[in-house]
């Protein structure tokens, strides 16, 4: 009979699961905790787990692999120390992560998929198609690689890089457990944000967990007419269904929903759009983040003017919806996630103003 050759992803397991697997395989269960500590201290091989017996290290290397994210490219902004990474995995697939420094700590924006299926017309990731899901350990590995490279502790995590987190639901749930667990990275749920284009059935599923994370919803339009033009997912779940799911989520978790709204000149930035948006959001525990769109897809979207953005913001507030204009970090390195992989060539030119390592 053919020998079992599947080698397992050790860093996607919880400590309880690893301990169970050790027991099932007649490995000393008390060693599981030790191995786990090594993994979460950033070990990249079993060999380096120096306080484990040599034969156990060899056995583990036969049965398990440790996910790592290798730095392919690193760009550091001259303006604000924002760091953008292009990480590769052993199969050659690449994703982006961005580290941002705020006064309240250090935040990382990580990817959840290689590419994305959702096809939003303004998004670089959407334009380049879908390759595969990331495992939970590959999401953890992005955080660990950045922490190790920058020699600091990351305090906040946003799932706002490449990919649609709720289209990779099981792996993202597992990641949330590992990242927040005391035996994992121990970053509390209140320090985690998850951004979705509006996978409505999964918003209901996520609500059941009552996590205290921040749910960001990429709304970008006040009605179906505009939203369906720029976000294909809107054909499946329209604005009414999405907002109903958001209200349910806010009620179930007690958490304010953060709505993302990319301001596109002449597309979604009129006074009428602001009034309509305010009318639809009023009464929902929410906050709107206005972000001038980045024209990265060649689809011809232009940023709304600063005056227009300000006026849109004031109109929302006048009608009772809180809103802020998001400051963009790392403007010189195209730090918005999802833009590096597709625009690699153009970016090399950009880097002249940045340090390129």
Binding site for ligand SF4 (CB under 6 A): 116, 118-120, 123, 125-126, 163-164, 197, 218, 338
> Are 223 and 276 in contact, with CB atoms under 8 Å apart?
yes
Q: Is residue 310 flagged as an active site residue?
A: no
Least distance CB 287 / ligand SF4 (angstroms): 19
Q: Which of 43, 143, 197, 316 binds ligand SAH (CB under 6 A)?
A: 197
Angle made by CA atoms 317, 240, 113, in degrees to the nearest 5? 90
Among candidate residues 96, 138, 164, 347, the one labeled active-site is 96
Calpha distance 238→246 (Å, rounded): 12
Which residue lies nearer to ligand SAH by CB, 94 or 197?
Answer: 197
Residue 160 interacts with, from ligand SAH, ligand SF4, none (CB under 5-8 Å by kind)? ligand SAH
Q: Does 196 bind ligand SAH (CB under 6 A)?
A: yes
In order of 66, 200, 251, the CA distances from 241 in angstroms are 41, 7, 15
Which helix (H) or strand (E) segment holds residue 208: the answer is: helix 200-209
182 is catalytic: no
Non-local (6+) Cβ contacts of 203 within 8 A are: 166, 196, 215, 242, 245, 246, 248, 249
Residue 286 CB, shortest distance to ligand SAH, in Å, is 15
Cα distances (Å, whole numbers) of residue 342 to 76, 107, 110, 142, 295 = 18, 23, 16, 19, 13
Site for ligand SAH in 210-269 (CB under 6 A): 218, 260, 262
Complex with ligand SF4: residue 42 or 232, whichever CB lies closer: 232
Stretch near ligand SAH under the rule CB under 6 A, chosen from 207-215, 271-279, 333-341, 347-355:
333-341
Q: CB-wise, 180 or 195, nearer to ligand SAH?
A: 195
CB of 338 to ligand SAH, least distance (A): 6
Contact status, residue 292 vs residue 255, Cβ threshold 8 Å: no
Quote the CA–CA distance of 268 and 177 in Å, as a whole number.
37
Task: Supply the minimum distance, in Å, between the C-beta of residue 269 and ligand SF4.
Answer: 18
Single out the catalytic residue among 94, 197, 273, 337.
Answer: 337
- Is-contact 217 258, C-beta < 8 A? yes
Is 165 or 184 the residue whose CB approaches ligand SF4 more closely? Answer: 165
Instruction: Please compute, for residue 351, the number of CA atoms within 13 A of its CA located in the half-sphere on the CB side.
Output: 17
21 versus 289: smaller Cβ distance to ligand SAH: 289
CB of 79 to ligand SAH, least distance (A): 18
DSSP E strands in the chain: the ranges are 8-9, 64-65, 70-76, 83-88, 94-102, 105-110, 113-115, 130-133, 156-159, 192-196, 214-218, 257-263, 286-292, 323-325, 355-356
CA distance 218 to 206: 16
Tell which one of 87, 89, 122, 211 touches ligand SAH (CB under 6 A): 122
Considering the complex, what minimum distance in angstroms separates the CB of residue 20 from ligand SAH? Answer: 33
- Contacts with ligand SAH by CB under 6 A lie at 122-123, 160, 164, 195-197, 218, 260, 262, 291, 293-294, 296, 336-338
Catalytic residues: 96, 337
């Amino acid at each position: 009979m053919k020998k079992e050759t599947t080698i397992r992803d050790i860093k996607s397991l919880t400590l309880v699961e690893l301990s169970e697997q050790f027991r099932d395989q007649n490995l000393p269960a008390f060693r599981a905790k030790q191995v786990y500590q090594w993994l979460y201290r950033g070990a990249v091989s079993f060999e380096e787990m120096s306080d484990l017996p040599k034969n156990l290290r060899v056995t583990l290397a036969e049965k398990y692999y440790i996910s790592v994210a290798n730095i392919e490219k690193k760009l550091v902004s001259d303006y604000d120390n924002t760091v953008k990474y292009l990480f590769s995995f052993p199969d050659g697939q690449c994703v982006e992560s961005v580290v941002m420094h705020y006064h309240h700590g250090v935040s990382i924006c990580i990817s959840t998929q290689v590419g994305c299926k959702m096809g939003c017309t303004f998004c670089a990731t959407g334009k380049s198609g879908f390759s595969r899901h990331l495992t939970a350990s590959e999401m953890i590995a992005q955080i660990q690689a950045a922490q190790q490279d920058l020699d600091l502790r990351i305090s906040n995590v946003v799932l706002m890089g490449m990919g649609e987190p709720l289209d990779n639901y099981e792996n993202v749930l597992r990641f949330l457990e590992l990242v927040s667990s005391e035996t994992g990275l121990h970053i509390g749920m209140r320090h985690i944000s998850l951004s979705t284009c509006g996978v409505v059935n999964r918003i209901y599923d996520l609500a059941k967990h009552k996590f205290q994370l921040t749910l960001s919803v990429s709304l970008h339009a006040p009605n179906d007419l505009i939203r369906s033009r720029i976000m294909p997912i809107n054909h499946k779940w329209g604005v009414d269904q999405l907002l109903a799911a958001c209200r349910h989520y806010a009620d179930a978790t007690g958490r304010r929903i953060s709505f993302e709204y990319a301001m596109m000149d002449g597309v979604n930035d009129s006074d009428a759009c602001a009034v309509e948006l305010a009318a639809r959001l009023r009464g929902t525990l929410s906050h709107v983040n206005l972000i001038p769109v980045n024209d990265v897809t060649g689809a011809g979207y232009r940023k709304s003017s600063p005056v227009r953005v300000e006026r849109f913001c004031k109109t929302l507030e006048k009608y009772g919806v809180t809103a802020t204009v998001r400051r963009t970090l790392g403007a010189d390195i195209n730090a918005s996630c999802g833009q590096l992989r597709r625009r690699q060539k153009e970016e090399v030119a950009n880097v002249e103003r940045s340090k390129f390592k």
